[in-house]
């Protein structure tokens, strides 16, 4: 059976190791979704991460809150929402996540890629219905030993509806976390 193309960003694979509240700047220009990879800017505000080698990632968004730290009634933050908001971010560099690969150009990860480093790729934003991110693992970024790559492939996500091939889901760890150095080499 073919895998379903249903990206959802970086979903925490239990257990959640750590999560903290971070500020989103007033009227931030980009919509944010659950599972979006984020990074801190020089002012200490959360911004959407930038895909590609050398771009660090703090963690993934778990939820949104208003100025009084009350949960928002929507499960995403629309672009340019007035006022200051906060998001809960899974920020432990050891955290494991589940992510779908993008399968661009017919390229897919394989079991031999486990332990290799790769990158993230931004999707088309996210779903205003589910609130889920459309970020995926960049399967055309051949897993290797580049320390600046953003993610490390840990294992194939074990589920009866997940086969290696197009749109497979993988367990990953952030390899180039903000505030720490990436790992060089292949191996878990």
8 A C-beta contact, residue 38 and residue 10: no
Round the average pLDDT of the chain to a whole number and report it: 92
Quick check: helix, strand or coil at residue 111? helix
pLDDT tens per residue, range 146-179: 889 999 999 999 999 999 999 999 999 999 998 7
For residue 188, pLDDT over 60 is answered with: no
In the prediction, which pLDDT does 119 show?
96
Assigned token pair, 144: 């290797």
In percent, how much of the chain has pLDDT > 90?
Answer: 78
pLDDT band at 7 (very low <50, low <70, confident <90, very high): very high
In the prediction, which pLDDT does 124 show?
86
pLDDT tens per residue, range 14-42: 999 999 999 998 889 999 999 999 999 99
Domain ranges of the chain: 19-90, 94-174
In percent, how much of the chain has pLDDT > 70?
Answer: 95
């Amino acid at each position: 059976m073919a895998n379903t193309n249903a990206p959802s960003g970086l979903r925490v694979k239990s257990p959640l190791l750590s999560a903290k509240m971070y500020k989103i700047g007033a009227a931030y220009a980009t919509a944010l979704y659950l599972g979006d990879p984020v990074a801190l800017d020089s002012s200490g505000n959360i911004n959407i991460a930038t895909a590609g080698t050398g771009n660090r990632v703090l963690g993934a968004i778990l939820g949104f809150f208003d100025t009084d730290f009350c949960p928002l009634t929507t499960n995403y933050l629309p672009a340019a929402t007035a006022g200051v908001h906060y998001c809960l971010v899974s920020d432990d560099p050891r955290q494991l996540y589940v992510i779908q690969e993008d399968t661009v150009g017919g390229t897919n990860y394989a079991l031999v890629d486990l332990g290799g480093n790769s990158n993230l790729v931004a999707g088309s934003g996210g779903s205003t219905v589910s609130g889920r991110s459309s970020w995926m693992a960049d399967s055309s970024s051949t897993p290797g030993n580049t320390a600046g790559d953003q993610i490390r492939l840990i294992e194939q996500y074990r589920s009866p509806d997940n086969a290696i091939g197009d749109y497979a889901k993988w367990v990953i760890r952030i390899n180039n976390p903000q505030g720490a150095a990436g790992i060089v080499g292949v191996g878990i």
